[in-house]
Chain A
Amino acid sequence: MSYSDKVIDHYNNPRNVGSMDKSSADVGTGLVGAPECGDVMKLQIKVNRETNVIEEAKFKTFGCGSAIASSSLATEWVKGKTVDEALAIKNMDIVKELSLPPVKIHCSVLAEDAIRAAIGDWKKKQEAAKPVASAVTQ
């Protein structure tokens, strides 16, 4: 199978490889896939809690070249977007950008899942941190 130049580029020069502190209140971590399937992606975002803008994103992937490229691209795309804007990213956008063949479309689906999982994790943290309104008798 021959890869598109963009996939090769992301494979040779992956963007935003790394890890963030997942216990941090501003970090959302998405871990999707399974080793038995040959695809596991970890995608993390650091969100500015005032603006909801994703300021930093990191990824690590166990998977084929297309999976690595899809997740690398995902971190590039979410940076600078608000959380809601990032939720609008669709796997077919990734397929188009990387010229993924049909047999590799599932890699882009997993990348989209990873974005959602990271955002979902961050949102859960924000919910949990909200002060509980209580009736306090003065």
Chain B
Amino acid sequence: MSTEVKVPQQLPVTHHAAPQGVKLPIYMDNHATTPMDPRVLEEMLPYFMEKFGNAASRNHSFGWAGEEGVETARERIAKLIGATTKEIIFTSGATESDNLAIKGVAEMYREKGNHIITAVTEHKAVLDTCKRLEKYGYRVTYMPVQKDGLVDLEDLKRAMDDKTILVTIMAANNEIGVLQPFAEIGKLCRERGIIFHTDATQAVGKIPIDVNKQNIDLMSISGHKMYGPKGVGALYVRRKNPRVQISAIIDGGGHERGMRSGTLNVPGIVGLGKACAIASEELSREAVQLASLRDRLRDRIMSRLDETYINGSMEHRLPGNLNISFAYVEGESLLMGINDIAVSSGSACTSATLEPSYVLKALGTGDDLAHSSIRFGIGRFNTAAEVDYVADRVIETVERLRELSPLYEMAKEGINLKDVKWAGEAH
């Protein structure tokens, strides 16, 4: 019997010349962070060396200049989300804001109850904070999500009891871009006198937010996800209808109405404010533009490759997010093949812990497809030419890797991979 060679010995990698108008490497990982908008940097610069005063220095013009920058930023952030300036607290970022909101409510409302509800797809800043509170004796319910990534409102209602003091559910998910029905969640909470916090890190500046219309009591905001600086964020804390109080988690000086001590990061805050001002102006137009680029990317890829699956609802989704699994191809090897493009993967091989994405797992996506997923985050500075180049490189790399893949070969032979008894491995 002869042995048959089915594919060419060597699969050459084509060298890629950047097409017209495309500068390599391309950044398409805007959920991880965003480049700073030049207008933001320009706004920040005077606050490093000229207007460098401590905003808390009440008695001289250096302090007043810093304070003015901070208060202008506060107004801009409040305007973007429909809040008042007194309701904006500055922090070092959304992780701190999440910690402050959740721990702050837990401590303040301890007498009222000890039950907190969140969702399994939350960012670690929320999940790990809840885990810590469990150690202190709080009860936490981690709501599952449906296949499209959304929390079921009936399930949520059933989870609430008379000891529930807080519901914390993110507005938009960082991995799959899915938008939770947070206005309805807020309404449910308001009806029951439960405080509603939302981690809106990925949502602010991308979708319209109105803390009153959407029944939000606490909201985390991040600078570096919206073309602003890293190391700065904010927490919205409702003052009226109802008034929400939180215990501080950082002591020392009583800044930000006693809720967050520490000298303000004036340049950072000014940057965050400018980022919000830009978003207020450009949000609607930009959302349309991003959705168009994202759909272009999706359609170009999915029209040329079979067995590709979108993770999470397309209908309730951030305009710039696309998360796709490419069956039979592992995520890290795919990233290696498109090494002139910055995106990320839900594969275990890309994580320090060798665990695949827990968000994809929560959707019911099998581990094998979780390992095969890529997250694209299209942002303000991406172009159609870049999208086309990225799509073509992804297609070419997936095709190449499928030729290398024993799973693809087996699938093509008509074998159902779910029926195979795998040898497992020495993990």
A residues touching B (Cβ–Cβ < 8 Å)? 3, 8, 11-21, 23-27, 31-42, 46, 56, 58, 60-65, 67-68, 103, 106, 109-110, 113, 117
Contact = CB atoms under 8 A, between A and B. Distances in A.
A71 B203 CA distance: 43
Given A61-B404, A62-B407, A21 B425 contact: no
B406 A40 contact: yes
Contacts of B347: 38, 64
B349 A34 contact: no
B417 interface: yes
Contacts of B11: 13-14, 17
Which secondary structure dominates chain A's binding surface? mixed
A32 B421 CA distance: 10
A85 B98 CA distance: 58
Interface residues of B, number: 45
Contacts of B408: 62
B366 A62 contact: no
B36 to A, nearest CB: 26
A27 B11 CA distance: 23
A109 B426 CA distance: 7
Given A27-B3, A62-B405, A64-B330, 5 more contacts: A18-B5, A35-B407, A38-B347, A40-B407, A113-B426
B407 A21 contact: no
B6 A19 contact: yes
Contacts of B406: 31, 40-42, 60-62
A34 B405 contact: no
21 contacts: A11-B333, A14-B11, A15-B9, A18-B6, A19-B7, A21-B2, A32-B425, A34-B424, A35-B367, A35-B417, A36-B368, A38-B330, A38-B356, A39-B330, A39-B425, A60-B409, A61-B405, A62-B407, A64-B336, A68-B333, A109-B425
A82 to B, nearest CB: 18
A64 B349 contact: yes
Binding site of B, secondary structure by majority: helix, strand, loop or mixed?
loop
Contacts of B49: none
Contacts of A24: 1-3
B17 interface: no
B336 to A, nearest CB: 4
B4 A19 contact: yes
Contacts of B330: 38-39, 62-64, 67
Contacts of B425: 32-34, 37, 39, 106, 109-110, 113
B254 to A, nearest CB: 44
A38 B348 contact: yes
Interface string B339-380: 000000001110010101000000000111001000000000
Given A35-B367, A38-B347, A63 B333 contact: yes
Nearest to B424: A34
Given A33-B425, A60-B409, A46 B3 contact: yes
Contacts of A20: 3-5
B137 interface: no
